């Protein structure tokens, strides 16, 4: 019997989480499951899913964004959330949905839809809530109402403090990344053939760190290197175009505007990887599990990344990968040393690593294209760390110290007597 899985997602582009949803929805066993995907708008993701035979419905969804974290913005999201509860719940019952899978933890309607339909709810956690400490305790309780919380990295999982609903499920490769021929790729992007190209891919936002890379171009060792060019691939969210304007203003203020190339969103990421000598992931806040780093390493690029969030789990510092302290402007020069060292070795700068070597990911098998299902970790995350387990085994069984019962001294002052009509009773001072 074929059952229906309802997937909810927060966007309709071709960025990391979008491609992961496409891989999951198209990778189901057709003899057991069919996918029904609900998106908040039309877009490339909707086109790709329909082209692969997946049913897609478009309707407004309640989605948390950094830009709406204000009293007015939260009020609008709450109204959309209430509408989701009724609309998605009716959809789930009408289509006899057996499972609701919310693909990002900022999409709110899945919890209510699953409760109305009486089916399990899987809430995929692809976010780290740094900077939202005021909201996090309450939102964490909401997320823990799900039947399962697959987290894309250990850095994401630790937010739930060992809750049994949470587990670690790293993303696999949703595409088979390759590197296009260097000269053709640079010609297509308008990048000088003899330049040292440092590329950054992803949404242009206030925390992804594109500004850190541009500032590095105007400070430290790279300020005098006219042959180093920054290639920015990506677009801002709708309504947040100011981030792109600010990026150009920073470049112009530092006098490096001619060395910053914005190519917009490129569905052919192979062209970007082919043109790049180095791919940088300069996130200023912890990045849960950026697909740009995963794909760039698998394609054979040299990767320089901020050493926080899920990035240290994906990349080993050394060889053709470099981990740098997150982007304070004072450390921009330190971040920029990677391209300068490698520009003298063209083969390694162009290829990063031999293509036959497994990319630096949690599981080397993840580097192969998979049919859509992400791979689980080799051991459950709830288990104790391996080194600690060996030490405990070597030390032998623990001896438990007998617990001493604390004796409470009762006095007339600490436990006043309470006379009732029935009999005399004692009450403790703490319950008075």
For 10-52, the DSSP string reads: S--SSSHHHHHHHHHHHTS-TTTEEEEEEESS-SHHHHHHHHT
The whole-number pLDDT of residue 400 equals 46
The whole-number pLDDT of residue 395 equals 47
Phi-psi region of 53 (alpha: psi -120 to 50; beta: other; left: phi over 0): left
Integer Cα distance of 258 and 87 in angstroms: 50
CA-wise closest residue to 10 among 125, 89, 95, 119: 125
The continuous run of DSSP H or E covering 196 comes out as strand 196-201
pLDDT truncated to tens, each residue of the chain (432 aa)? 899 999 999 999 999 999 999 999 999 999 999 999 999 999 999 999 999 999 999 999 999 876 555 555 566 666 677 778 889 999 999 999 999 999 999 999 999 999 999 999 999 999 999 988 888 999 999 999 999 999 999 999 999 999 999 999 999 999 999 999 999 999 999 999 999 999 999 999 999 999 999 999 999 899 989 999 999 999 999 889 999 999 999 999 999 999 999 999 999 999 999 999 999 999 999 999 999 999 999 999 999 999 999 999 998 877 555 556 665 544 433 444 444 333 333 333 333 333 333 323 333 333 333 333 333 333 333 333 333 344 444 444 444 445 555 554 444 343 333 333 333 333 333 333
Integer Cα distance of 343 and 275 in angstroms: 14
Instruction: Give the Cα-Cα-Cα angle 274, 279, 283 (nearest 5 degrees).
Output: 150
Domains and CATH numbers, the chain: 3-168 (3.40.50.2000), 182-356 (3.40.50.2000)
């Amino acid at each position: 019997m074929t059952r229906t899985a309802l997937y909810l997602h927060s966007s309709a582009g071709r960025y990391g989480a979008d491609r992961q949803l496409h891989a999951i929805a198209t990778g189901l066993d057709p003899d057991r499951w069919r996918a029904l995907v609900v998106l908040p708008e039309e877009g490339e993701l909707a086109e790709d899913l329909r082209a692969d035979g997946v049913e897609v419905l478009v309707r407004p969804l309640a989605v948390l964004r950094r830009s709406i974290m204000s009293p007015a913005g939260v009020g609008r999201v709450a109204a959309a959330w209430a509408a989701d509860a009724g609309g998605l719940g009716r959809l789930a019952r009408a289509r006899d949905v057996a499972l609701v899978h919310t693909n990002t933890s900022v999409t709110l309607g899945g919890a209510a839809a699953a409760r109305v339909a009486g089916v399990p709810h899987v809430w995929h956690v692809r976010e780290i809530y740094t900077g939202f400490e005021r909201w996090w305790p309450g939102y964490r309780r909401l997320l823990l109402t799900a039947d399962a919380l697959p987290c894309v990295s250990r850095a994401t999982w630790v937010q739930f403090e060992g809750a049994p609903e949470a587990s670690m499920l790293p993303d696999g490769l949703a595409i088979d990344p390759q590197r296009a021929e260097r000269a053709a790729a640079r010609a297509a992007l308008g990048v000088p053939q003899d330049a040292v190209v440092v590329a950054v891919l992803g949404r242009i936002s206030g925390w992804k760190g594109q500004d850190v890379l541009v500032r590095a171009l105007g400070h430290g060792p790279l300020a005098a290197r006219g042959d180093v060019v920054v290639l920015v691939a990506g677009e801002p969210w709708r309504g947040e175009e100011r981030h792109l304007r600010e990026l150009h203003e920073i470049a112009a203020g530092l006098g490096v505007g001619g060395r910053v190339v914005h190519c917009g969103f490129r569905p052919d990421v192979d062209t970007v990887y082919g043109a790049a000598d180095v791919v940088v992931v300069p996130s200023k806040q912890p990045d849960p599990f950026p697909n740009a780093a995963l794909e760039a390493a698998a394609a054979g690029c040299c990767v320089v990344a901020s050493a926080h969030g899920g990035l240290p789990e994906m990349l080993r510092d050394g060889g053709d990968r470099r981990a740098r302290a997150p982007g304070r402007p004072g450390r921009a020069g330190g971040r920029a040393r990677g391209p300068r060292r490698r520009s003298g070795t063209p083969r390694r700068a162009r290829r990063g690593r031999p293509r036959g070597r497994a990319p630096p990911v949690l599981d080397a098998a993840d580097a192969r294209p998979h049919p859509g299902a992400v791979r689980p970790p080799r051991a459950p995350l709830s288990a104790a760390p391996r080194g600690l387990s060996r030490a405990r085994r070597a030390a032998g069984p623990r001896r438990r110290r007998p617990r001493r019962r604390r004796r409470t001294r009762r006095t007339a002052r600490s436990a006043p007597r309470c006379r009732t009509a029935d009999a005399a009773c004692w009450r403790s001072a703490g319950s008075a």
